[in-house]
Amino acid sequence: MADTPIQAAPHEARAPEVPSVAEVLQDLAKTSILKVQNYSKLSYHSITNLATGPRYAQDTLDQMDDIGVGSLPIVLLSGFFIGAVMVLQTGTQFERFGQASLTGDIVSLALVRELGPSITGLLVAGRCSSGIASELGSMVVTEQVDAMRAMGTDPSRKLVTPRVLATLITLPLLTTISVFVGLLGGMVASVLSLRINATTFWERAIKILEFSDIMQGFSKTVVFAFLIATVGCYQGLNVRGGTQGVGRATTQAVVVASVLIIISDTFLTKVALYLADKFF
């Protein structure tokens, strides 16, 4: 223990330097690269954490309940009416050529390949990406994440991996339910509006589907689920600036996840069509 006190002279405050345009651009580029790097690391660890313990099964189940069961009402409701509106839009066109019975084919293909995964993905992104970002963001600003780390818990294992895993499991299931309910909605609309027999609609809707169509839809849901959860977690865990920052992160999570879903959908469709052409 020091008995003799030490004393030092304080530093003199220096005037802040004004950065040049080049420096600002350089900083912007560095920040962007750093964000991509951090997002990649978070995404990578969210999966590799599964290989080693500790694993948080109860947290994963809780998240599955929140993300999966919690999203069910909006997915059911929107799925039904999207199927119905698809029939109304396409059926009138087919009727002009006397091919109203083709409505079931086109609605089924559109829902399984495209609308089911993307609409469900966007809905879940709106509900869960924001929820994840705000929950984790609040934990960051109230130092709960630091407290977790201080107690020897890896937030990536405890907070990120359960959410990613839960979304990866529940989004394909939600999409399947959404597609089914969409076909029901389409069937109801075609019976009531186009006077098509329900059995005919259902038979055509099922028969037109091939394995490649189902795989295309399924592969999209897996990618979308990963994007929804990792973007939400990344935005939440990187909150800066208190409650205002939490609000900003929440908005950004929805925007970034939605945009990434739409962009990746284009590439996934192209890849899926190529693979279907080559292998199925």
Partner 1 sequence: MATGQPSIEFKDVRLGFSEGEILRGVTFSAQERETVILLGETGTGKTLLLKLASGLLRPDSGSIRVLGKNISGIPESELLEMRRQIGFVFQEGALFDSLTVGENVAYRLREDAVDEVEIEPRIKEVLRFVELAHTTDLLPSELSGGMRRRVAIARALVSRPPIVLYDSPTAGLDPITSQAIISLILRLRDVYGVTALLATHRLQDGFALANFHFDPQSRKVRRDSSLELSHAAPTRFLVLRAGEIYFEGTPDALMKSPDPYLQRFLI
Count Cβ neighbours within 10 Å for each residue of 157-166 and write b for 16 or more, e otherwise: bbbbbbbbbb
Q: Which of 77, 85, 114, 153 binds partner 1 (CB under 8 A)?
A: 153
Number of residues that bind partner 1 (CB under 8 A): 24
Q: Is 152 in the site for partner 1 (CB under 8 A)?
A: yes
Q: Is 95 in the site for partner 1 (CB under 8 A)?
A: no
Cβ proximity to partner 1, 7 vs 20, nearer residue: 7
Alpha carbons 105 and 111: distance in angstroms, whole number: 10
Q: Do the Cβ atoms of 71 and 124 come closer than 8 Å?
A: yes
Terminal CA-CA length for the chain: 77
Cβ proximity to partner 1, 72 vs 148, nearer residue: 148
Question: Which stretch in 151-159, 204-212, 237-245, 270-278 sits in contact with partner 1 by CB under 8 A?
Answer: 151-159
Q: Is 154 in the site for partner 1 (CB under 8 A)?
A: yes
Alpha carbons 46 and 30: distance in angstroms, whole number: 24
Residue 10: its H or E element: none
Q: Is 51 in the site for partner 1 (CB under 8 A)?
A: no
Q: Distances from the Cα of 19 to the Cαs of 14, 22, 23, 24, 32, in angstroms?
A: 15, 8, 6, 7, 18
Q: Which of 23, 24, 32, 54 binds partner 1 (CB under 8 A)?
A: 54
CA-based nearest residue to 264, from 132, 161, 118, 67: 118
Write out the binding residues for partner 1, residues 8-27 only, by CB under 8 A: 8, 10-11, 13
Q: Is 143 in the site for partner 1 (CB under 8 A)?
A: yes
CB of 12 to partner 1, least distance (A): 9
Write out the binding residues for partner 1, residues 207-266 only, by CB under 8 A: none
CA-based nearest residue to 223, from 118, 142, 96: 118
Q: Which residues sit at the interface with partner 1, rule CB under 8 A?
A: 1-8, 10-11, 13, 54, 142-144, 146-154
